[in-house]
Structure 1
Amino acid sequence: MTAGGISREPPSRIDAEAEVVIIGASACGLVAALRAKGAGSDVLVLERDASPSGSTSMSSGFVPAPATRFQRAIGVADDSPALFETDLLAKSKGKSDKHLARLASRTIGPALEWLADAHGLDWIVLDDFLYPGHSRHRMHAVPEKTGAALLARLLAAAEQADIPVATDAPVTRLYADTDNRITAVEISRPDGQTEILGCKALILACNGYGGNRELVARHIPEIAGGMYYGHEGNKGDALLWGEALGAELKHLSGYQGHGSLAHPHGILISWALMMEGGIQVNTEGRRFSNEHGGYSEQAVHVLGQSDGIAWDIYDARIHAFALGFPDYVEAVKAGAIREASDVADLAKVTGLPEAVLAETLCDIAGYQAGRAQDPFGRDFTGKPGLAPPYYAVRVTGALFHTQGGLMIDDEARVLDRAGNPFPNLFAGGGAACGVSGPDVSGYLSGNGLLTAIAFGYLAGSFCRA
């Protein structure tokens, strides 16, 4: 009998076997594979695409972690897992799963240091600005500061560790016995052939359901009309398998959005522009929210404007700062960034009404000087005021990835609806329930790679049991 991609009948054959099979060759799956291989397990990673990419390669590649030696090297000596946990819960207004928030905040630092020590990943800490909700400079990145570079380094480490990554290998069925032990998985090759792989442990590292429009409309209808800026292969396989097996699912309405995706270019514009003093206006030339509230919830605010469009407005100082981000350089090369010598020119290059733009910028100058309070509650006094020449980019709101999923325990074991762990099923990253709670506003910058690496590290550590 087969239901929801789960077969309760034994497989008719076993074509190959591995002690640990991992579904997904992005950050979560590769970290899990490196950890399991280092502990002596025979590991096989299955990737649906012709070459690994996933959500990691589309991300900024920034990973928040407290109390690391990389922080201490730049003088950040007062961070701690407890403080990071407090920040996580504050951002979600206490709605995050507290157990998972604590688990992630305590695990991620050791995971990054282990990746450096065991596999040579170099980490730098971004200390030129604080992302919304973080009380310390704790955002780590590889030197290139891109998700694609992070993934490339993890793939290189996997190759060095002699970990096989089978590509063009989407998993279409799991085989489970009467005790819910996963005994094998079936993959379907592009030529229509199938292979059945036996396993002693299975790790689900295949992200969430952002690429499944039906599930998005069901669980997060507020973003269903927005662009999806994630990997199209994120169809919710882990969610559907878990549901069929009787796993506990939580916070399926949680997700990461982003309110600054260059349109129609589809290039991420770093929220650092807003944190450095930039503003967003709608097609009427008016601000519509507190841009420092968080870039995830800003996606909903932007999509609520006419045609789901906004403009990022900033100046030469911020433009020069932004050139340190590879995505922004890409946007410049693509012609997404517009320059204007003054307000009249800004109105011309954006098509926004000059009189309203002038009024908006005048209001900002007043907030900057402390002559008035921003009605949206933003404090403008900490950064220099905007001054010509101006820069602008047309943006929209987008869904990046979902944050709800399978509940796990301290060893990243998937839990059933009674709270009991499955015998040999593990999950991490977007396949597992995240730490953002049930709302878009609960996403603290970096939460996606936080749980990908932290929970992947745990799954790889304990999947031998």
Structure 2
Amino acid sequence: MDHATDRPTDLTTDLLVIGGGMAGLTAAARAARDGQRVVVVEVGADVGGSGRFAGYIWTAPDHEVMDQQNPNGDAALKRRLVDDFAAAVEWIRSTGVEAKPAQRILSFGRGHEFDTNHYVDTCRRLVTEAGGSVLIDTVTEELLESDGAVVGARVRRSSGEELDITARHTVLATGGFQGSAELRETYLGSGAGEMPLRSNPHSQGDGLRLATAVGAAVGPEQAGFYGHLVPSGVPFKDSGDFVDLSLYYSEHALLFNLENRRFVDETLGDHLTTVALMEQPEARGLLIADGRVYRDWMVPAYVEGAVSVDKFALASRRGGRTGLAESLEELEYLPEDWGYDGPTIRAEIERYNEAAASGTLEPGRALDPAPLLEPPYYVIETIPAITFPFTGILIDDHARVLDSDGRPIPGLLAAGSDTGGLWNRAYAGGLAAAIVFGLAAAESAGAPSSGE
């Protein structure tokens, strides 16, 4: 809509940031430090979003590894992420938040542990100390347009008061649409709406709704999502469960679908196996590990410095479908109401062990082709849980939102999980992308000429 300021409560600012999570607060804090006037609008009762539940900034160490791990991601976005990763880490340190020395993440990544709670709170402080505003419990109703450019937004406070915020640039950083079962069904496929939500509940697709209303393009199709396998029938009690209940060790176990067969190379990453399971019958499967996997991978911390959790004991204690078999023969007695055929599962593991010994595995096991020979056998039924989608608002490598013709929409930027294109059935670091493109958005907002 065309905009005219006519109310005493209306605001004018340089940068309006819609969403107070990792990406939005990064953009806001950097812009404030650079001397811009900033207003942050957050729908929740506090800032931080899902970023408060994380703890590591990491990505692929170079372009070659990024291309190997994420071959279908947008080339320009991938390049910007890798090229600007070191600067993002230094930005974190410049705020006074410690980013610890680099360590290995997954089989290919490199990253740094840091206190994400301290970071988002520090970013908020940088905004307010520079004279900016952070409006919580505030819903963004629509973007404001003038002469083909986005010039701010109309928001509604918890009191019911509406106000128009006029801005030279507006950043969409609402965290994605994973909180909306309807949008998950629309963009991720049938059954996706039933997945457990492994993130804050406020990311309901506001950024997507606002962007498409002004002509933004959305994609890519069938790009998947980031998430992890979790025990079936075990609801999350609090945000600590997002990590404690995630079955990261699946990379070393075997996963069978309801047809009693393996269907994916589990070793490539639990996050990728999660997407693959979503596409299997009823989106549930049987995860089986032996004594070696339990000892070496199920109980120890997934990354250095994290708390160790016995995933099997926790799932059992919380009422998940679990079983402990003292031998392969005992796997034949799986409960019938689970829907799997015990004798077939046993035979499939025996067949797998023979193929592992002869090097003829199908599907292959690129990173851990060892057989499961050491009893006992630990069984957990598992389902996929979503953290954020890979489909979203399309941007260029300057964080400018693109229309259906691939042209930047003047005045409109986006960063973080609201955006699409970077990841396509692959993943190498959500916090890294949020901070790199949050900084890119601040840079574009502060540039004398954005090229729009």
Q: Same fold (TM over 0.5)?
A: yes
Deviation at 1:432, TM superposition (A): 2.3
Give the ranges of 4+ consecutive aligned residues of structure 1 lying more than 6 Å apart after TM superposition. none
Q: Which moved more, 1:400-409 or 1:102-111?
A: 400-409
AA of the residue aligned to 1:161: L
Change (3 A) 1:254 1:305: closer
AA of the residue aligned to 2:90: E
Q: Aligned runs of 1:174-253 on 2, under 5 Å?
A: 174-182=143-151, 184-229=152-197, 230-253=199-222
Count of residue correspondences: 421
Q: How big is the alpha-carbon RMSD for the aligned residues of Structure 1 and Structure 2?
A: 3.2
1:18 alignment partner, SS class: strand
| Aligned residue number for residue 59 of structure 2 | 65
Change (3 A) 1:240 1:294: same
Q: Aligned runs of 1:43-62 on 2, under 5 Å?
A: 43-57=38-52, 61-62=55-56
| Aligned residue number for residue 27 of structure 2 | 32
Give the Cα–Cα distance (whole angstroms) in 2 for the partners of residues 419 and 306 of structure 1. 37
Q: Aligned runs of 1:310-321 on 2, under 5 Å?
A: 310-320=285-295, 321=297
Q: Which moved more, 1:372-381 or 1:340-349?
A: 340-349
1:247–1:407: 8 Å Cα contact kept in structure 2?
yes
Q: Which moved more, 1:31-40 or 1:211-220?
A: 211-220
AA of the residue aligned to 1:12: D
AA of the residue aligned to 1:242: A
- Normalised by the size of structure 2, how large is the TM-score? 0.81
Give the Cα–Cα distance (whole angstroms) in 2 for the partners of residues 401 and 327 of structure 1. 23
Give the Cα–Cα distance (whole angstroms) in 2 for the partners of residues 43 and 245 of structure 1. 22
AA of the residue aligned to 2:309: V
1:367–1:379: 8 Å Cα contact kept in structure 2?
no
Q: Does 1:413 align with 2:400?
A: yes
Deviation at 1:88, TM superposition (A): 4.6
Q: Does 1:10 align with 2:4?
A: yes
| Aligned residue number for residue 238 of structure 2 | none
1:9–1:175: 8 Å Cα contact kept in structure 2?
yes
1:24–1:205: 8 Å Cα contact kept in structure 2?
yes
| Aligned residue number for residue 134 of structure 2 | 165
Q: 2:262 aligns with which of 262, 287, 292?
A: 287
Change (3 A) 1:297 1:342: same
Deviation at 1:462, TM superposition (A): 2.8
Deviation at 1:173, TM superposition (A): 2.1
Q: Aligned runs of 1:5-404 on 2, under 5 Å?
A: 7-13=1-7, 15=9, 16-57=11-52, 61-66=55-60, 79-80=61-62, 82-90=63-71, 92=72, 96-127=73-104, 129-130=106-107, 136-142=108-114, 150=116, 152-163=117-128, 164-182=133-151, 184-229=152-197, 230-258=199-227, 260-266=229-235, 267=241, 269-270=245-246, 272-275=248-251, 277-283=252-258, 285-320=260-295, 321-323=297-299, 324-325=301-302, 329=309, 332-333=313-314, 335-336=317-318, 338=322, 340=324, 342-343=326-327, 353-368=341-356, 370-371=357-358, 373-379=360-366, 383=370, 385-404=372-391
Deviation at 1:342, TM superposition (A): 0.9
Q: Percent identity?
A: 23
Change (3 A) 1:342 1:53: farther
Give the Cα–Cα distance (whole angstroms) in 2 for the partners of residues 223 and 140 of structure 1. 35
Unaligned runs of at least 5 residues, structure 1 = 1-6, 67-78, 131-135, 143-148
- Normalised by the size of structure 1, how large is the TM-score? 0.79
Change (3 A) 1:56 1:330: farther
Deviation at 1:455, TM superposition (A): 0.7
AA of the residue aligned to 2:358: R
Change (3 A) 1:305 1:407: closer
Q: Which moved more, 1:242-251 or 1:284-293?
A: 284-293
2:78–2:422: 8 Å Cα contact kept in structure 1?
yes
AA of the residue aligned to 1:408: I
| Aligned residue number for residue 443 of structure 1 | 426
1:425 alignment partner, SS class: strand
2:324–2:376: 8 Å Cα contact kept in structure 1?
yes
Change (3 A) 1:380 1:251: closer
Deviation at 1:307, TM superposition (A): 3.5
AA of the residue aligned to 1:119: G
AA of the residue aligned to 2:110: R
AA of the residue aligned to 2:229: S
AA of the residue aligned to 1:433: G
Give the Cα–Cα distance (whole angstroms) in 2 for the partners of residues 297 and 435 of structure 1. 15
